[in-house]
Structure 1
């Protein structure tokens, strides 16, 4: 339908990949805007004449001249050179390079980038968790693809093709719009959009528009087509890019309709729907956006014929994706109705609008958030490894919209990350054992073992007694252990009474992530108390008495020879052994 330029409306694309001002842009599931109905097959130019005069010549079958000998069909022919096998990684990098080259040729306003991994914003908004996870996902930056080959890659050793490719991808990601959100909200509320707008600045851009079904502002799937861009009264400052549900459903169903009735029937069905919208009010400029669900497969034949049909239809006028549509400044603000596409009004095509059930329910969101916390803790303690970063990038994919309708594949996508995290955390553990504590207060030692090949640092150790017969006086300092080694921590404890208890050493990362298995250490507590002094005193007394007795028995007897009396007299006693 005629109107001012509107983002996302159908349009044209020049053969050979160059885009005109009338190209359509639809954001794809991986964050890259992709051309819509304007894509046409590339036609190779005819080969130049051999004379080099700039003319062209057409190839025709050659026949032997009158004097030419007939060809011998049995004569040996040269076998074709077998193609060089290309690895899957090479093929992916080549494809990335070709796509980057094509997108770099588009106008900057024709590229709409979704956040990396295309997180399922609708599931995150409906979950019971807070918006911290959504903010973190929106703030994720694309990883460096580090391609080594591509359309510009050099085959020469030491060539700079890889550098050129990396620079080209970085340049591409810096272009285009990042202020448009496309959540799968069938019945969006003002609160949902306010939360989304509050979290969106982590992407690096403020949120200015949200792609929603037009029922969100019209309340009905049969409402007349008006503007494709509608400002909102609440929350103010946001525009709704209203997608036409019927046209989008017909476009999504075109592949099946083409298989059943042919390409022309599929395209004519969609063009007839736009004609019906035009005839509702031929004099009123209007616009519509066709946005099939993520993952929709559209054949090249349908795209090519639809492109021709849009350009040739007198009631349609392709507009540039860079345009703001007839809604900006010309349509009064609207309020959200909370309605979504009505299957009863749309009929059978409504099934093609179903994005599938998201596996991200409340339990799944909690599990993923817990696992991401574990990875954050491992990143804090592991030294000299980037393994956690690769696990985190893989885990980030689990929040993607692409898993809708694929619960089994979703579960398989992040289980390896959970297994790797569990193994890494279990590699740090306490060496179990038994300790005899024979004091009122003293020092105890516990051995921590690190079986990882890399060192760990800033590991927090907290000792907890299972009963009150033993009190932990102070906790050890944060610990650093080398790879494949162990360390001993010392702590002070106080005995309260006699008995047996268990001391558990809880190992955690600075963010509280649990490490190891909290192996128990059995402690036999025997405090000394007052009786020990009586025992020691008694033992000392016995030792003293025994020493005195022994010294008395070993002294020789003295013979008394005389006694000095007072007054100066002296008495003497003699002993005779012979006869008198």
Structure 2
């Protein structure tokens, strides 16, 4: 190993530059609701005078705003800046701020926890303090402070170390601090170690907001603006990681910006359970699917194009479509067709941004790897373009036995799948938007990595940071944090993909069995076996209906897109929203698939052989073709001679088609018919209809009897004429003579 090197001066310069971002109170993107305290409401990073802190009743609160430089080497000075907020109980008068160096070295990671959790005055010596007392700070008010530390005062013989320090504030003349905060300083004078390879995975996913799928155009547009527009959580993640080593796991549905068509579901016709008329009921009005307005659609395209441009050229991998919950599905239904399809659709990220993006890294939200999950995930990925998952991101505690040191992130599962173990302690230190500043998180992160390095300084190892699905950063703070990480000489930043292969001196270790079951910070699943089966059944029904529609692809997009969203991980963070969306989607699917139906009506069939007319109605705004009507009598009195052939119906919402079915009546009486619709392969669509039929067959005997009766009537008339003799017409004389006689009589009378 080498001793002091020229890189030291360069490191100090880089560290000083990167800490400028941390000495400024974090800026924030403007959001429509719930702004975080201490963040400037701006779409660009800008300075704030001091972070806003809510005062305590009795204690003074210390907020660190900067440590510059971040890495000490004993040759210069380090400036520590912050603010002090006086308690509500009274002002701070003549207060001073001390920097106390802890007396116990940090050799294992639990030492860090112990130092942070300790309360009261720190055990150690004062290494530095404010040069003069602070001006009076009124109760509940805040004032800045600066402490300049001569680095030799905290010097250690080691090449590197994490130094525990406490920042304490004292009232004038007091011997007990009225406020304290504990943090760490990073020490490094020479390279006597193998650097740790470090990668960062950040999910780019949607929030559990039902309004993203609202039929109200304005609500939907506003929700998508909040989800991926300027200042959104997604936007802040992309901005904060720009130019860094972070790898983004992208949910393809983020690049959709709302379904292209969100249909108002068909309004089913109100049909009585027992029809009492001989004609079908009138159909209700069925609203048609409505696409967003030109303005809304243009806004969606603009947002998506902006997002795609921002992602182009970045370190990416694709999550399953809608960030499908592979953890929950793999545990209860690894063969689920809906989730398998969503896994396969990860490729749409690359299609959208125009660059190849791998979609074979599985990232279960709970970070666990229970028995059977490896094979379950491989089953879910078996129908994808890669036919398998190349790696699974898991939490290190789920695959690590008790050990005095932290293992490498490069691991391998029992059945051979590559694993990437995420360090939960380091992952939890990623700066969040709710933090007043990121200084405490940054200093602890540096300390954690130095202690981790000290476990086996001569062994090459790797570390993965994994942000949670609901990660919510401030872009300026996250960017500064990542720059500090990249500048630390004991850390070598790499892409997540790098950890899928062995490196020199860092080969993948087999997974181990934890001494006790690992726990997860993820909320419980919203998906159960029953719910997954329901989703698969609804998907099957939609696909079946689509096969008989002239524009089946548009129908599937309209009604299937929302169904896909129900399988998302995001609903773990908003279970009530899942229930609301599920109820809506289930009603839509039910109404849409029952909109093509048989219209029930009473029929009187007065023949032995003939045709039965059945009416089929199409309530969708899609033309129907190749539909099959199946007619099944419930009583042997009536027989169907031949099932009707394929049927086509124009687009609805009130399109009808009468279909003639040849039938044979065997006997008189009630003979109901069950009629239902199917696709060409026999899959039923909608619900069946019962058609009451009153059969009254008039067979050949009826016609013989009628003919005989008609003949007898005719014969009776002939006989009567013969018996009566001459006709009255024959008894009348010459008609012409009578006429002349009558005319002469009229002439005489006239005279």
TM-score range, shorter-chain basis? 0.5 to 0.7
| C-alpha deviation, 1:525, in angstroms | 1.7
Task: Give the Cα separation in 1 of the matches to 2:499 and 2:596.
Answer: 57
Aligned pair partner of 1:465 in 626, 630, 633: 633
What does the per-residue CA deviation read over 1:422-446, in whole Å, with 9 as the maximum and x for residues that have no partner? 3333433333322222344433221
Against the structure 1 CA distance between its residues 371 and 557, is the aligned structure 2 distance closer, same or farther, given a 3 Å change threshold? closer
**Conserved 8 A contact 2:251-2:320:** no
> 2:369 corresponds to which residue?
188
Task: Give the Cα separation in 1 of the matches to 2:311 and 2:694.
Answer: 72
Against the structure 1 CA distance between its residues 240 and 454, is the aligned structure 2 distance closer, same or farther, given a 3 Å change threshold? closer
> 1:524 corresponds to which residue?
694
> 1:203 corresponds to which residue?
384
| C-alpha deviation, 1:185, in angstroms | 4.7
| Residue 355 of structure 1 pairs with residue 526 of structure 2 | no
| Residue 377 of structure 1 pairs with residue 548 of structure 2 | no
* Worse overlay, 401-410 or 518-527: 518-527
What does the per-residue CA deviation read over 1:286-326, in whole Å, with 9 as the maximum and x for residues that have no partner? 11101021111123354244234324434333335453478
Could you say what secondary structure the match of 1:323 adopts? helix
After TM superposition, the score normalised by the length of structure 1 is 0.68
Which stretches in structure 1 are left out of the alignment for 5+ residues?
Answer: 34-86, 145-168, 344-352, 559-580
| C-alpha deviation, 1:121, in angstroms | 0.6
Could you say what secondary structure the match of 1:394 adopts? helix
Q: What is the correspondence of 1:300-449 to structure 2 with a 5 Å cutoff?
A: 300-324=475-499, 327=502, 330-331=506-507, 334-335=510-511, 337=513, 342=518, 354-384=521-551, 386-449=554-617
> 1:456 corresponds to which residue?
624
**Conserved 8 A contact 2:631-2:640:** yes
> 1:114 corresponds to which residue?
319
**Conserved 8 A contact 2:633-2:640:** yes
| C-alpha deviation, 1:467, in angstroms | 3.0
Task: Give the Cα separation in 1 of the matches to 2:442 and 2:460.
Answer: 23
Task: Give the Cα separation in 1 of the matches to 2:338 and 2:400.
Answer: 32
| C-alpha deviation, 1:143, in angstroms | 6.6
> Greater strand percent: which structure?
2
Task: Give the Cα separation in 1 of the matches to 2:712 and 2:252.
Answer: 94
> 1:264 corresponds to which residue?
439
**Conserved 8 A contact 1:32-1:112:** no
Could you say what secondary structure the match of 1:457 adopts? strand
Against the structure 1 CA distance between its residues 499 and 338, is the aligned structure 2 distance closer, same or farther, given a 3 Å change threshold? farther
After TM superposition, the score normalised by the length of structure 2 is 0.54
Against the structure 1 CA distance between its residues 338 and 140, is the aligned structure 2 distance closer, same or farther, given a 3 Å change threshold? farther
Could you say what secondary structure the match of 1:492 adopts? strand
**Conserved 8 A contact 2:197-2:492:** no
Task: Give the Cα separation in 2 of the matches to 1:16 and 1:137.
Answer: 28
**Conserved 8 A contact 1:438-1:528:** yes
> 1:235 corresponds to which residue?
415
| C-alpha deviation, 1:541, in angstroms | 4.7
| C-alpha deviation, 1:120, in angstroms | 0.7
Task: Give the Cα separation in 2 of the matches to 1:527 and 1:301.
Answer: 87
| C-alpha deviation, 1:240, in angstroms | 0.1
Could you say what secondary structure the match of 2:457 adopts? coil
**Conserved 8 A contact 1:6-1:323:** no
> 1:495 corresponds to which residue?
665
**Conserved 8 A contact 2:195-2:489:** no
**Conserved 8 A contact 1:501-1:522:** yes
Could you say what secondary structure the match of 2:539 adopts? helix
Aligned pair partner of 2:471 in 296, 304, 311: 296
Could you say what secondary structure the match of 1:289 adopts? strand
Against the structure 1 CA distance between its residues 444 and 98, is the aligned structure 2 distance closer, same or farther, given a 3 Å change threshold? closer
Task: Give the Cα separation in 2 of the matches to 1:454 and 1:309.
Answer: 58
Aligned pair partner of 1:27 in 242, 246, 249: 249
> 2:356 corresponds to which residue?
175
Task: Give the Cα separation in 1 of the matches to 2:724 and 2:565.
Answer: 103
* Worse overlay, 460-469 or 414-423: 414-423
**Conserved 8 A contact 1:187-1:337:** no
Against the structure 1 CA distance between its residues 425 and 133, is the aligned structure 2 distance closer, same or farther, given a 3 Å change threshold? closer
| C-alpha deviation, 1:242, in angstroms | 0.7
Could you say what secondary structure the match of 1:488 adopts? strand
Which stretches in structure 2 are left out of the alignment for 5+ residues?
Answer: 1-192, 203-238, 256-294, 726-751
> 2:454 corresponds to which residue?
279
**Conserved 8 A contact 2:196-2:492:** no
What does the per-residue CA deviation read over 1:40-75, in whole Å, with 9 as the maximum and x for residues that have no partner? xxxxxxxxxxxxxxxxxxxxxxxxxxxxxxxxxxxx
